[in-house]
Amino acid sequence: MTIGGTIRDCNGKWLFGFSKHMGKGDHILAELLAIKIGLKTCWNKGWRNIICESDCQEVLKGIIEGDNPRHLHFEVIEEINHFRRRTWNTKLNCINREANKVADILARKTSSGGELTWMSPPNEVIEQLTFDCMGIT
């Protein structure tokens, strides 16, 4: 299981990107872990007005409802909601899969056991970032 994520400003400009190999798990856990790492990164960098976007409606529903201890990934959901309860503004948005291509590309860049971070976008995502800024998904 690998994850990837990008953090951008309100104009779509790149601020930070990450990818990481996370071991074994399902696509729901992968999405939850990407959200958790993204929120943690934003908090640690001092960014306090956050719109978190995911193409997985099931994950967003699990986070928003957040009170089902029988959920397979309840512990990660609790960690995410712990971050969301801090003194800052967070909003969750569901986006279509085509609008999430940069995160998918970053997730594929991770090697086994590796973690990569980017202060500037890697070449593989520049074209997609341009499309995103133009509103073309």
**pLDDT score, position 113:** 65
- Between 3 and 132, the more confident residue is 3
| pLDDT higher than 80, residue 121 | yes
**pLDDT score, position 112:** 63
Q: What is the pLDDT of residues 66-111, one digit of tens each?
A: 888 998 999 999 999 999 999 999 999 999 888 889 999 999 887 6
d(CA 17, CA 102): 9
User: DSSP strand E in 1-137: where?
Assistant: 2-8, 14-21, 49-54, 89-94, 115-118
Structure tokens given for 99: 């609008």
| pLDDT higher than 90, residue 115 | no
Average per-residue pLDDT for the chain: 91
Question: 53: how many CB neighbours lie within 10 A of its CB?
Answer: 18
**pLDDT score, position 68:** 86
All domains of the chain in start order, with CATH? 2-133 (3.30.420.10)
**pLDDT score, position 133:** 73
Structure tokens given for 135: 């509103």
pTM: 0.92
